[in-house]
Amino acid sequence: MTFDPIRHDFERGLKNRREILGDAWVDRSFDRANNFNAEFQELITRFAWKEIWGRPGLDKKTRRAMVLAITMALGRWEEFELHVRAGLQGGAPDTRLTPDELKEILIQTAIYAGVPAANTGFSHAQAILKEIGEEIGYALTPTNPGDTCHPGYGHERVTKSKPALHYSVRPARNNHTQQKQTIVLSHALGCDLTMWDRLATTLSADFNVVSYDHRGHGSSDAPAGLYSMVDLAEDAARLVEELDCGPVIWIGLSMGGMVGQELAIRRPELISALVIANSTSAYPDNVREVWQQRIATVQAQGIEVIADAVMERYFHEQFRRERPATVATFRRRLITTDAEGYVGCCNAVGTVDTTNRLDQINVPTLVIAGELDQGAPISMSETIANAVPGAKLVILKDASHLAVAEQPQAFTDAVQAFLAR
């Protein structure tokens, strides 16, 4: 039997070490090796870099994050700096960390390992970013802490114009120096802007994302009286104009999709693309009468009496059975909605009528329908898709009326595919 002179455990470890730390650092480390520390270098190359970094159970970026968190928690600052540099510069590009990812690691470690450790970690990391920022395309710029926001929820504000609309703005997280297009997310009846949290956070990687509470909902004003879809579209136009962010990509679900239709027809200069989900352009007379009955019921007895019936239309039976906590959250939002505002919006929804004007929409349009949607059956989405020039229809499997909540990934995939076009 021939003896193989190649030490595969060492060579595999060395390969991983070079991939993560970069050739330059490893070469410098080996050049400094001597009779005192060479055995230690051999040990960590075999053990840490082959046995641990060679395991397939976690991707390399996750392992980078773990090492940074642990070295920061233990105050091993020399090792921390090594892995910050390596994470930003070293190894294969798909294993590197962005400065924003590094920031998230430091912030999360602050909660679990303490603020003093994070203070020191930020100090060390910033010193490295000042040194290598130009090389990796990142510049440290003065920023007022009071002007920052949680990237998952954005800046929350209200419009100066009345009725005041509560809204949030999530600035695009990537390519901060470039002008970004704005997406506006418009929610369903009886919900609020939090309905969009998951999708908004995903889309705000590359777009500025605005979500808002319709009049009569959430923290927006609830003026007295019955509203029309024109009223809601004028609210939307006010919001876009006040934020000076148009033309926008409008994504609306149910009532939000109705508002998007009316806005695209009345104020085409404010819309560059349109997503209409789980919505309709009109109801038949018998359904219009059902909406008037709902208004009368809420006016006489409050929202609580209709809550269970609404949840049955918003979510299909299996979802209600498997995800009762999610359904309970939406039910709680519904019954705490201002009753007068809810009634006002019920009138706007029940009297929606854009069918004969849909051919006036001249922007790229995606129509999303839920396979199991009783509130806005597929036929209603087909009517819209057939009437809007060039519109595309996507039907989501196992989705009822609040498709973005029932099938969030499928909904996101459909929207992102549309945006990519």
Give the count of domains, the chain. 2
Residue 258 lies in a domain: yes
Residue 145 lies in a domain: no
Number of neighbours of residue 77 by Cβ within 10 angstroms: 16
Residue 298 and residue 344 in one domain: yes
Q: Are 366 and 274 in contact (CB under 8 A)?
A: yes
Which CATH number characterizes residue 387's domain? 3.40.50.1820
Residue 164 and residue 120 in one domain: no
Task: Give tens-digit pLDDT for 344-388.
Answer: 999 999 999 999 999 999 999 999 999 999 999 999 999 999 999
Residue 160 lies in a domain: yes
Residue 205 and residue 244 in one domain: yes
Question: For position 176, what pLDDT does the model report?
Answer: 56
Residue 120 and residue 259 in one domain: no
Task: Give tens-digit pLDDT for 212-241.
Answer: 999 999 999 999 999 999 999 999 999 999
Residue entry with tokens 């996101």: 412
Task: Give tens-digit pLDDT for 309-355.
Answer: 999 999 999 999 999 999 999 999 999 999 999 999 999 999 999 99
Residue 151 lies in a domain: no
Task: Give tens-digit pLDDT for 81-128.
Answer: 999 999 999 877 888 999 999 999 999 999 999 999 999 999 999 999
Environment class of 133 (CB within 10 Å of its CB; exposed 0-12, middle 13-18, buried 19+): middle
Residue 29 and residue 163 in one domain: no
Q: Which of 106, 136, 166 is the last residue of a domain?
A: 136
> Residue 28's domain spans which residues?
5-136
Q: Are 350 and 292 in contact (CB under 8 A)?
A: yes
Residue 125 and residue 160 in one domain: no
Residue 127 and residue 171 in one domain: no
Helix boundaries (H) for 162-273:
197-203, 229-243, 255-266
Which CATH number characterizes residue 129's domain? 1.20.1290.10
Look up the pTM and report it.
0.89
Nearest to 246 by CA among 238, 257, 258: 238
What pLDDT band is residue 196 in, cutting at 50, 70 and 90? very high
Residue 181 and residue 118 in one domain: no
Residue 320 and residue 272 in one domain: yes
Residue 147 lies in a domain: no
Residue 171 and residue 128 in one domain: no
Residue 199 and residue 89 in one domain: no
416: left (phi over 0), alpha (psi -120 to 50) or beta: alpha
Residue 66 and residue 190 in one domain: no
